């Protein structure tokens, strides 16, 4: 890890929040305070011998920005530090990271066990792409018992993949339980940690081998750039890196620079995201025109105790169910004044979406039903606005949309 401090100033004993701010590439001869942008496609060799050694990997160094770049390295170093991982590889998008974490390790004849509660594109990779390569899969409910998870494991099971909390249903998977099964059966435990971020949850502490993120979401946090990252055990990152280097889903230096700077404020932002989300969830749970509210740290969440045991806070995402189907959803969203209507999440600005018609629209009706994705489901990515304004806006939208629907009957 490259630290922008002298060798005598060892920051290793410091808290990871401090390291997220102080970890930087080494200063150039210009003595800059902030890491500069390395907008270059390639890097020069001081000699033919150095070029030979770099390609032989007998020495470390940059060759080509599809392989590595100082800005990307700084971003990877920070995420590895936050997650407690040995190594990592950054990608152009979150889905590129998810795909690379699977395609870099699985081969024809392998079997994958996955949690049924997954983002729509992850479903498509598993069912439409990996299947073409002869990689089979078995889905398991997030709330399944340890015995049910173990029953899905086959002799050729090479990986278990999951999200916790899940998108959009906010279902949780017991990481410690899967960590025990991993030790027993020897599969790779691959966890999408996007919703929780390394600030709220570190899957590797529970036995996971890989932690995957869409850095587009909370790691950026302001809706500016795309990015993804996989971190974990060095022996697993090596084949994932090989896959990514030769297929080319590289993160741009500019995006890496932006994301690395954003990590400096990730902890502060997550504190506000979580406090706002908890307060909004509590307010809407008591609103007569909201059918149900789901949030991991609400006592009413069916996996509340599990959430408390593996997360330090409940995150930014709240889901609500409105009676009246998509017609009610339309009226509700038209009545809102503050939130943005978008399929994205993890932004400083509050965002709402209807997963049934957007992020999970491609799923079959039975698949949606199994995930609890109904016409009236709304996913709220709670932002950093003042909580009083958010509560007032959501409460009035719930009331107005209910009245509109009654008038139409």
What would the pLDDT profile of 63-73 be if each residue is shown by its tens digit?
Answer: 999 999 999 99
CATH number for 16-263: choose from 3.40.1350.10, 3.40.640.10, 3.10.420.10, 3.90.1010.10.
Answer: 3.40.640.10
pLDDT of 1 higher than 60: no
pTM, rounded to two decimals = 0.93
**Residue appearing with tokens 């959430």:** 307
Q: How far apart are CA 66 and CA 44, in angstroms?
A: 14
Tokens of 44: 């020069």
Q: 195 with 315: CB under 8 angstroms?
A: yes
Q: How far apart are CA 349 and CA 273, in angstroms?
A: 10
Q: How far apart are CA 386 and CA 388, in angstroms?
A: 6
Q: Which of the two residues, 7 and 135, has the higher pLDDT score?
A: 135
Domain range list for the chain: 16-263, 266-408
What would the pLDDT profile of 274-302 be if each residue is shown by its tens digit?
Answer: 999 999 999 999 999 999 999 999 999 99
Confidence of residue 406 (pLDDT cuts 50, 70, 90): confident
CATH number for 266-408: choose from 3.40.50.1820, 3.40.50.300, 1.10.3210.10, 3.90.1150.10.
Answer: 3.90.1150.10
What would the pLDDT profile of 205-255 be if each residue is shown by its tens digit?
Answer: 999 999 999 999 999 999 999 999 999 999 999 999 999 999 999 999 999
pLDDT of 59 higher than 90: yes
What would the pLDDT profile of 111-135 be if each residue is shown by its tens digit?
Answer: 999 999 998 899 999 999 999 999 9
pLDDT of 3 higher than 70: no
Tokens of 238: 């090596």
Confidence of residue 175 (pLDDT cuts 50, 70, 90): very high
Q: How far is CA 280 from CA 123, 277, 395, in A?
A: 30, 5, 9
pLDDT at 125: 97
What would the pLDDT profile of 337-374 be if each residue is shown by its tens digit?
Answer: 999 999 999 999 999 999 999 888 888 888 888 888 89
Q: How far apart are CA 273 and CA 351, in angstroms?
A: 12
């Amino acid at each position: 890890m490259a630290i922008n401090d002298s060798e005598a100033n060892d920051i290793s004993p410091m808290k990871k929040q401090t390291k997220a701010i102080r970890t930087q590439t080494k200063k150039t001869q210009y003595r800059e305070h902030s890491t500069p942008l390395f907008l270059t496609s390639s890097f020069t060799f001081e000699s033919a011998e150095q070029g030979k050694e770099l390609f032989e990997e007998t020495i470390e160094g940059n060759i080509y920005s599809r392989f590595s770049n100082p800005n990307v390295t700084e971003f990877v170093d920070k995420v590895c530090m936050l997650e407690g991982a040995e190594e990592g590889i950054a990608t152009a998008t979150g889905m590129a990271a998810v795909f690379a974490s699977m395609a870099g390790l699985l081969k024809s004849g392998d079997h994958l066990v996955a949690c049924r509660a997954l983002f729509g594109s992850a479903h498509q990779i598993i069912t439409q792409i990996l299947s073409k390569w002869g990689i089979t899969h078995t889905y398991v409910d997030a709330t399944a018992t340890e015995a049910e998870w173990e029953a899905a494991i086959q002799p050729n099971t090479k990986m278990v993949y999951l999200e916790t909390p899940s998108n959009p249903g906010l279902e949780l998977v017991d990481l410690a339980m899967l960590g025990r099964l991993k030790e027993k059966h020897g599969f790779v435990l691959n966890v999408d940690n996007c919703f929780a971020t390394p600030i709220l949850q570190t899957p590797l502490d529970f036995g996971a081998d890989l932690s995957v993120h869409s850095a587009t979401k909370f790691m950026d946090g302001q809706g500016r750039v795309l990015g993804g990252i996989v971190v974990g055990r060095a022996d697993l990152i090596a084949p994932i890196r090989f896959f990514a280097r030769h297929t080319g889903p590289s993160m741009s230096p500019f995006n890496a620079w932006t994301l690395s700077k954003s990590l400096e404020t990730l902890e502060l932002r997550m504190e506000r995201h979580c406090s706002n989300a908890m307060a909004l969830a509590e307010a809407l749970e008591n609103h007569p025109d909201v059918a149900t509210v789901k949030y991991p740290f609400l006592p009413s969440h069916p996996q509340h105790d599990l959430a408390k045991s593996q997360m330090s806070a409940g995150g930014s995402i709240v889901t609500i169910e409105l009676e009246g189907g998509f017609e009610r959803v339309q009226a509700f969203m038209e009545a809102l004044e503050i939130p943005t209507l978008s399929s994205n999440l993890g932004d400083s600005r509050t965002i709402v979406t209807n997963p049934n018609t957007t992020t999970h629209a491609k799923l079959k009706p039975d698949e949606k039903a199994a995930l609890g994705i109904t016409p009236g489901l709304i996913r709220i990515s709670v932002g950093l606005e003042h909580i009083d304004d958010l509560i007032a806006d959501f409460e009035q939208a719930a009331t107005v949309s209910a009245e509109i629907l009654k008038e139409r009957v």
